[in-house]
Amino acid sequence: MRHPVLGLVVLFFLVLLFAGGTLFWGPTDLSFQRVWSALFFPGSDVSATQILWELRMPRVFAGLFAGASLGLSGLVLQSVFRNPLAGPFVLGVSSGASLGVALVLLAGFGRGSLGILSAAAMGAFGVIFLVLFCSKFLEHSVSLLIVGLMLGYLIDAIVSLLMYFSDAESLRGFVTWGMGSFSRLTLLETPRFAGVFFVGLALILAGIRYLNVVRLGDAFAESLGIAVRPYRLIVLAGASLLAAGATVYCGPISFLGLAVPHLAYGIFRSSNHRVLIPACALLGALLALMAGWITEIPLNAVTSLLGVPVVLWVLLASRHRRSGGVRG
């Protein structure tokens, strides 16, 4: 794209449009005037105020932050692992975060939302570093995907065991969480989710020069004066934190993180992370808002419908490229 800023501005307004749409239209039929007055004169219309501020507003923020988080997390993972099939869900990072959540909710390690958040972040970080370690021994990028999937299955098995041994009360809470939804975030938790998002974003922005050269190999980055190890640690910590935040507040969401970067490459035709980072954040938020629009449909059904064709397309298209594609 010749004018990436223009594209980003268009995306920004589309995100605003869908965020507004989510506020004004929902399962309960509220007139424009009632939403308007609830928005700007809260309290004048009690039921509308309640619906708007306690149901719709958190859902908008959940979609915005979760979508942007997963899109950015996917972008960083694809760049650092030089693998177009990487993403927080397929590499088992979301599962790692789930294990953290399960350990708190089911096994009773730690408590409170801060406990859940830090456990999830550690779980996500742990999986990323296991995958990073394994990637040193792998030739083909599809192998990395399989390692990630296997790790995911392993962790899901551990989670199932935890579920088996836990009581009905905590189990119910965990199962509803595990289905993935933008409707469970409360207004109270919204600032925390925002905080996690902005810390993760800051970590990724700090590694922007590294991200721009990492696809050409570590030696290339080093020869340009970029210290690979500290930067890799910083951006992967950012990716873990973003994936963990989205997973804690909205449940494990499939494929969004994988699909978003490909849409960004396709639309902006750029490899510069100065463009790709805002593009993935905005596209992720937009897709999440679109997927969450119809609240009755399970979120993961929509994101899988969207994400799986992207995976297949990347796999099939890469055969025809000379040295890019899956080999990265």
Partner 1 sequence: MAEALLTTDSLGVGFNQPLFAPLDFSLFAGELVCLVGPNGAGKSTLFRTLAGLISPMSGKVTLCEKPLEDYSARERARLLASVFTAESIPSGLTVEEFVALGRIPFTSFFDHRTKEDYAAVAMALRDADVESFASRELCALSDGERSRVFLARALAGHARVLLLDEPTAFLDVPHTLALFRLLLRVAREQNIAVFLSTHNIDYALRFAHRILALDGSGNACIGPVNTVVNNGFLTWAEIGINEKE
DSSP assignment string, 34-97: HHHHHHHSTTSSHHHHHIIIIIIHHHHHHHHHHHHHHHHHHHHHHHHTT-TT--TTTTTHHHHH
82 binds partner 1 (CB under 8 A): yes
Does residue 138 bind partner 1 (CB under 8 A)?
A: no
Say what angle helices 112-135 and 141-164 make with each other, to 10 degrees. 140
The reply to whether 143 sits near partner 1 by the rule CB under 8 A is no
Start-to-end CA distance of the chain, whole Å, equals 22
Q: By CB neighbour count within 10 A (0-12 exposed, 13-18 middle, 19+ buried), where does 229 fall?
A: exposed
Q: 86 and 62 in contact (C-beta within 8 Å)?
A: no
Residue 140 as a binder of partner 1 (CB under 8 A): the answer is no
Among 158, 274, 290, 293, binds partner 1 (CB under 8 A): 274
Q: Which of 22, 212, 300, 303 binds partner 1 (CB under 8 A)?
A: 212
Q: Does 19 bind partner 1 (CB under 8 A)?
A: no
Q: Mask 227-266, x = binds partner 1 (CB under 8 A)?
A: x-------------------------------------x-
Q: Pick out residues in 99-118 that bind partner 1 (CB under 8 A).
A: none
We find the least distance from the C-beta atom of residue 180 to partner 1, in angstroms, to be: 30
Nearer to partner 1, 270 or 304 (CB): 270
The CA distances from residue 314 to 79, 162, 266, in Å, are 15, 36, 12
Q: Note the residues at the interface with partner 1 (CB under 8 A).
A: 82, 205-206, 208-209, 212-213, 215-220, 222-227, 265, 269-274, 321-325, 327-328
